[in-house]
Structure 1
Amino acid sequence: MNPADAGAQHPYERLTPQAVLDALDAVGQRGDGRLIQLNSYENRVFQVMLEDGGAVVAKFYRPGRWSDAQILEEHAFALALAAADVPVVAPLLLPDGGTLAHVQIDGHPFRHAIYPRRSGHGPELDDPETLRWLGRFIGRLHAVGAEQAFVHRRTLNAETFGHAALRRLLALDMIPPAQLSGWQRACEQALAAIDGAFTGAQPLRQLRLHGDCHPGNILWRDEGPHVVDLDDACMGPAIQDLWMLLSGTPEAMRGQLAAVLEGYRQFSRFDARELALIEPLRTLRMIHHSAWIAERWSDPAFPAAFPWFGTGGYWGQQTTQLNEQIEAMAEPPLDPAWLD
């Protein structure tokens, strides 16, 4: 969406409480009038209390982001994981036997899906046993992910999350002139290092991933973890679903990764060459995140949530962090010798 259209009505403004309740009623989920909008920037997600006393979560997809085929691949992956007893919150089947509903609201098309309500808390990432459990969990997820490839969803690599994001940011013309040259130079240098890292790690095994497996998308209950939000599911290297569990000094991350992989390798194989992609993937996430915010600036939720975005201070900080990542990518990757 073009930031120049920020003054126009955003499609999400049509998602009034009554419109949400009517959309659910049309697929056999009759709400009792109570609903809560849940935290989500990309889509609009509502917890809806039902007349029968239960509750569901309704996810309305951002218009224009995914095709139906891409959304249905996400749903099929979630259902395959659930069928393999991998704890994931999968979409419910609708009366027509599918998982994706279409609705017109004030003449604007929306797609939505219905999910069971699940609760939990964040994992304790400083506990080695929790990390081993998460490793087993992601290993099982990847075992299912490796069974076949996505056909319609994107692949995470330096082009899709890096070079393309840079081009989109430059085209949007949202970087102040005083910061543009410094940020662009740092970004291009970082991307050159990322290109080299991906080339050096070839051939990379590509599999279906969660894609955004940060701790906020992992809910912990007494029986262990389950994941939510496969909206960013993609093809890519296994390390993408593991590196966001790591933090701190290189020594601390070695210990954390040792625990994660102890569990992971009970269910999936791991190529130690992918360790060289941890910092490149972290850098790609930074660049992609800036482009993600810029492209959604016409959505009123984004200026409210990221008021500092677009300021000289923001882009100056991004330049500093990219330069720090260039240095980090020049360091030797985590020593894989201890893996065996």
Structure 2
Amino acid sequence: MSIDAPYATLDPDRVLDAVTACGLWPDGRLLALNSYENRVWQVGLEETSPVIAKFYRPHRWSDAAILEEHAFAQELAEAEIPVVAPLPFGGRTLLHHDGFRYALTPRRGGRAPSLESTEQLEWLGRLIARIHSIGARQPFEHRGRLDRATLIAKPMQAVLSSTLLPSSLHAAYRAAAERVDRAVADRFEAVGPIRQLRLHGDCHPGNVLWTDAGPHFVDLDDARMGPAVQDLWMLANDEKAMSALLDGYQQMRDFDFGELALMPALRAMRQLHYAGWIAERWHDPAFPAAFPFAGEARWWEQHIADLHELSEELT
């Protein structure tokens, strides 16, 4: 397995062999799903519904961290929260085949939620509150925190070490990123101590699927410790939407309204992390094809301008 192309040997035959190794019978139908960090396939099975096979990116998470994600998903599912949890085989959810680590989950379809619907937003708020009630029971030990070290310092170093950022923009990028870091630190200090709990971590509309029976949550790959508002702000297009989410949330769990002041900081951290993520993964052939704009100086110029704008919002 090459570090520069970690999925080069993950061809359809290996995907089918990995599913077969679990005692299942693939019917040969494979559909690659939209995922860049990991590789995810829908695999058709003989006489039963398809499964989703997720192959974890090497070196990103330890086995212990992945098992914590699985345990959290199972804990939520056992509490009848609609979260797609991995399937156990021989008592194990983290599986190994030909050097790859993977997990299988049931296929659960659906459509994106309507973020204009007060009813749907309140429903999501209630479910997120229930997730957080479970998440507050105990901390993660291996999955880390949503903090400046992870979402600012590391991606900033990835960008500065990458050939993507033109050398003429190094100083400007460093100044903008450091300005964001200072502003984020000041905002967290101003808000004061915030309760940390286990989060979904990446609760954007693409990770919520809606059916006639209601919503369900998928992809806990970014689950970490952090403030409750992290699982809310990406679903809120405006103050009205956030109000609806919180109306639902407070039906099930108290919310610290002081956390709302963290939203600009969390938004800035996510944007800085996004550029660092692309830079860090650029060696993966999927990334230049998916994000060709990152190879252009004008995109980095706009990113630097955006970082300054985010800093202004925080000060």
Query: TM range, normalised to the smaller chain?
Result: over 0.9
**2:220 maps to 1:264:** no
The alpha carbon displacement at 1:299 in A equals 1.1
**205-214 or 44-53, which moves further after superposition?**
44-53
Matched, 1:149 2:143: no
Q: Distance in 2 between matches of 1:29 and 1:289?
A: 37
Query: Is residue 2:43 matched to residue 1:48?
Result: yes
Contact 2:111 2:211 in 1 (8 A): yes
Deviation readout 1:172-218 (Å, 9 max, x if unpaired): 35310222222221111111000011112221100000000000000
- The CA distance in 1 between the partners of 2:160 and 2:139, in whole Å, is 32
Partner secondary structure for residue 105 of structure 2: strand
Q: What is aligned with 1:323?
A: 308
Contact kept? 1:158, 1:198, Cα under 8 Å: no
Retained in 2: the 8 A contact 1:81–1:144? yes
1:63 CA displacement: 1.0
Alignment of 1:22-37 (within 5 A): 22-37=17-32
1:21 corresponds to which of 9, 16, 20: 16
> 1:256 is aligned with what amino acid?
A
Q: Tell me if the contact between 1:75 and 1:99 (Cα under 8 Å) persists in the aligned partners.
A: yes
Residue 254 in 1 paired to residue 239 in 2?
yes
1:59 maps to: 54
Structure 1 residue aligned with 2:75: 80
Number of residue pairs the alignment of both structures matches: 315
Q: Which 5+ residue runs of structure 2 have no aligned equivalent?
A: none
- Give the structure-2-normalised TM-score: 0.97
The runs of at least 4 aligned residues of structure 1 exceeding 4 Å deviation read: none
Q: Which moved more, 1:204-213 or 1:12-21?
A: 12-21
Q: Which amino acid aligns with 1:97?
A: G
Q: Is 2:276 the partner of 1:291? A: yes
Q: Is the 8 A contact 1:169 1:291 kept in 2?
A: yes
* Unpaired stretches in structure 1, ≥5 consecutive residues: 248-252, 331-340
After TM superposition, list the pairs within 5 Å mapping 1:89-168 onto structure 2: 89-94=84-89, 96-104=90-98, 109-168=99-158
Q: 1:107-256 alignment to 2 at 5 Å?
A: 109-247=99-237, 253-256=238-241
Paired with 1:48 and 1:183, the residues of 2 have a C-alpha distance of 43
* TM-score scaled by length of structure 1: 0.90
Larger displacement relative to structure 2 (50-59 or 78-87): 50-59
Paired-residue identity, %: 52
Deviates more, 1:110-119 or 1:197-206: 197-206
Q: Partner amino acid for 2:184? A: I
Between stretches 14-23 and 176-185, larger displacement belongs to 176-185
- How far the C-alpha of 1:310 sits from its partner, in A, is 3.3
Please say if residues 24 and 30 of structure 1, whose CA atoms lie closer than 8 Å, have aligned partners that are also in contact. yes
- 2: distance between equivalents of 1:89 and 1:53? 17
3-state SS of 2:116 partner: coil
- The CA distance in 2 between the partners of 1:237 and 1:68, in whole Å, is 25
For residues 184 and 313 of structure 2, what CA distance do their matches in structure 1 show? Answer: 11
CA contact (8 A) 2:122 2:248 kept: yes
CA-to-aligned-CA distance 1:124-181 (integer Å, 9 cap, x gap): 0011111111111111111111111100001001222112221232233531022222
The DSSP-based 3-state class of the residue aligned with 1:112 is strand
CA RMSD of aligned residues (A): 1.5
1:207 partner letter = L
Indicate conservation of the 8 Å contact 1:175/1:315, yes or no.
yes
Secondary structure, aligned partner of 1:165: helix
Distance verdict in 2 for CA 1:177–1:297, change over 3 Å:
same
